[in-house]
Amino acid sequence: MAFRRLLFILFLFLSGTYANTLHEIDENKLKEFIKNTFSNYRSSEFIIRSDNLFEKPFIVGRSKNLILVHFASMGATTDLTVLLIYKDNNFQVAKIKDGDKYKDAIFLVCAGGAGRYSHNVKLEEKLKVYEYSIYGKKEDYCRAKVYDFDGKFFVINDQESTIESKNYCRKVCKELDIKSKACMF
């Protein structure tokens, strides 16, 4: 029995080590890509200067050839995270299709207001974006968006987003215990 457990643990270790060596990421190349791509970057949502960039970007999520990277500071409790496609030892900023618009997959990651607002992003099997601002005012919101990768773009999955929003917002609203329109499902 103990021998079988040992073999199983050894198998897990070796398969994990082998999998990691197949897709090793060159951190210097990642740092250079971030610097070249995001120094003086402008979009309709963000203006990023080179002094916003982290000295060393860090990977916070990974799934197959997709990596989620924290790369810039936008203030005391706000960072930017980008979703990159890593293929053939090269990086490319992933794109999100939102209706008929396309944008770079860059996200705010922040929290504050004594826990009353938060934006976060996770990369698991799918890309998930979470955000809420709950103060008991008419502008309150709480939502989650789930995106599927179609091979070229990340496209919102409305059905899964609805389910994820309900589950996420129930949890947030229960923790905050504030009467809000964002907490009515």
State the pLDDT confidence band at 24, using cuts at 50, 70 and 90.
Answer: confident
- Indicate the DSSP class of residue 134: -
In this structure, of 34-38, 49-53, 136-140, the range with the lowest mean pLDDT score is 49-53
Arithmetic mean of pLDDT, 16-22: 40
Residue 2 is predicted with a pLDDT of: 39
* Element (DSSP H or E) covering residue 71: strand 66-75
| Number of domains the chain contains | 1
User: Is 115 within a domain?
Assistant: yes
User: Is 132 within a domain?
Assistant: yes
User: Is 20 within a domain?
Assistant: no
Residue 25 is predicted with a pLDDT of: 87
3-state secondary structure of 87: strand
User: Is 103 within a domain?
Assistant: yes
| Cα distance between residue 106 and residue 2, in whole Å | 48
User: Is 8 within a domain?
Assistant: no
CA dihedral 44, 164, 67, 9 (to 10 degrees): 170
Residue 79 is predicted with a pLDDT of: 92
Burial of 36 (0-12, 13-18, 19+ CB in 10 A): exposed
In this structure, of 16-25, 72-81, 87-96, 129-138, the range with the lowest mean pLDDT score is 16-25
- 129 vs 29, 96, 157, 169, CA distance in Å? 27, 12, 12, 12
| Cα distance between residue 110 and residue 117, in whole Å | 8
pLDDT surpasses 90 at 185: no
User: Is 13 within a domain?
Assistant: no
Q: Which domain holds residue 170?
A: 28-183
- Indicate the DSSP class of residue 152: S
Which of the two residues, 163 and 44, has the higher pLDDT score? 163
pLDDT surpasses 60 at 9: no
User: Is 137 within a domain?
Assistant: yes
114-160, pLDDT tens digit by residue?
889 999 999 988 999 999 999 999 999 999 999 999 888 999 999 99
In this structure, of 7-16, 44-53, 162-171, the range with the lowest mean pLDDT score is 7-16
User: Is 17 within a domain?
Assistant: no
State the pLDDT confidence band at 12, using cuts at 50, 70 and 90.
Answer: very low
